[in-house]
Amino acid sequence: MPEKIVIPAYLRETLYKRNVQINSLERLPRDLKKEVLAGKRPVLVFHDGKIHPARVKKASPESALLEFLSTPPSLQEKENLLVVIATDRVRYVLQGVIRKIGESLVYLEFVNPRVDPRLEIPGERVVFLSPLPLELFEALLSGKFFLLRDTNVSREALGHIGKFYVYDLIIDESENVAEEFERIMASPGKIFFLKDISRSGACVFIRKILTFPRETFPLYFRTGLTEGDKGMALSLGLVGLNRGVRVEGERTYLHMMWVKKLPEEVIIFLKGLFSETPPSPSAR
């Protein structure tokens, strides 16, 4: 059933500021680290698309005790939280797992920024990329337009259905597909090849050197993945943000994140698709 998605507030900052992923407060610049550890510089905690200011009460290289400066969100142990320390030009981003919760307090254990394992894709799988106009993405971020995700992927369906899909649509206030997005969907897009994919993003490449005005920009990603005569297929049409550009030899790599994570079952299905064993509903 289609799901109307609230776009996380941090994506606006991600689009317009350089993001540096770190896994410890020790990796902050010296002066900034002193302010943060002394509780003089607030940090921003993102939860369910909302921003909650907090300050550091205690910290070690691997963890931190945070105190919320306003009404705390409803949290659960083992949840993941995003912590951002923003300067004029750079956002330092940490990911943490909640270990303990107290009154207005949360104890986080920092994790490697890439918490979602990446699945290397065998062979050369074509994907089509189309840049999204900033005005269209801004309308999405501001709430003027909405993201609608339609999928038939579920744990119950694994092993019973051979063809799955996950499609993102940008819809207007009348819940019709935005005209500009409709034109983008009808356009062919530029051909890249899929290197790896995870629940949170993907890496693609092209066999030429490309330059871009900026490294961070919104895009629309499309592909269809099949393997031999298994009768299994996955179609993807996803809205995302390119986060980085890398050139190696005669290849240009793009590193992107999805606006919303893919269901866990997508990765389970792909592991089965590219192995000799069909996906199992109990697979992990």
Per residue in 108-141, pLDDT (tens digit) is 999 876 657 788 988 889 999 999 998 999 888 8
Q: Which residues make up the CATH 2.40.10.220 domain(s) of the chain?
A: 16-111
The whole-number pLDDT of residue 283 equals 47
Cβ 94 vs Cβ 83: under 8 Å: yes
- The pLDDT value recorded for residue 184 is 95
Backbone angles phi, psi at 24, to 5 degrees: -160, 145
- Quote the tokens at residue 276: 């000799």
Q: What is the mean pLDDT of the chain?
A: 87
Say yes or no to pLDDT of 225 above 50.
yes
| Per-residue pLDDT band at 3 (split at 50, 70, 90) | confident
Question: Is pLDDT of 25 > 90?
Answer: yes
Q: Which one is predicted more confidently, 160 or 240?
A: 240
With a threshold of 0.95, does the pTM exceed it? no
Residues whose CB falls within 8 Å of the CB of residue 107, separated by 6 or more in sequence, listed in order: 63, 64, 65, 66, 98, 99, 100, 101
* pLDDT at 10 (0 to 100): 61
User: For residue 25, what are its two tokens?
Assistant: 């407060």
Amino acid 273 reads: L
Q: So what's the pLDDT on residue 219?
A: 95
Instruction: Using a pLDDT cut of 90, give the percent of the chain over it.
Output: 50
Percent of the chain scoring above 70 in pLDDT: 91
CATH 1.10.8.80 fits 16-111, yes or no: no
Give the three-state DSSP class for 265.
helix
Of 132, 139, 234, the residue nearest 182 (C-alpha): 132
DSSP structure class, residue 177 = B
pLDDT digits (tens, 9 = 90+) for 46-70: 887 788 999 999 999 999 999 999 9
Dump strand ranges (E) for the chain.
3-5, 18-21, 43-47, 50-60, 63-68, 80-86, 90-102, 105-111, 119-120, 126-131, 146-151, 163-171, 190-197, 201-206, 217-226, 233-248, 251-258
- Least Cα distance to 3 among 158, 156, 199, 175 occurs for 175
For residue 230, pLDDT over 80 is answered with no
Residue 282 has pLDDT above 60, yes or no: no
Higher-scoring residue by pLDDT: 104, 15: 104
- For residues 102 and 229, which has the higher predicted lDDT (pLDDT)? 102
How much is the pLDDT for 284? 46
The domain made up of 119-273 has a fold known as Thrombin, subunit H (2.40.10)
pLDDT of residue 215: 79
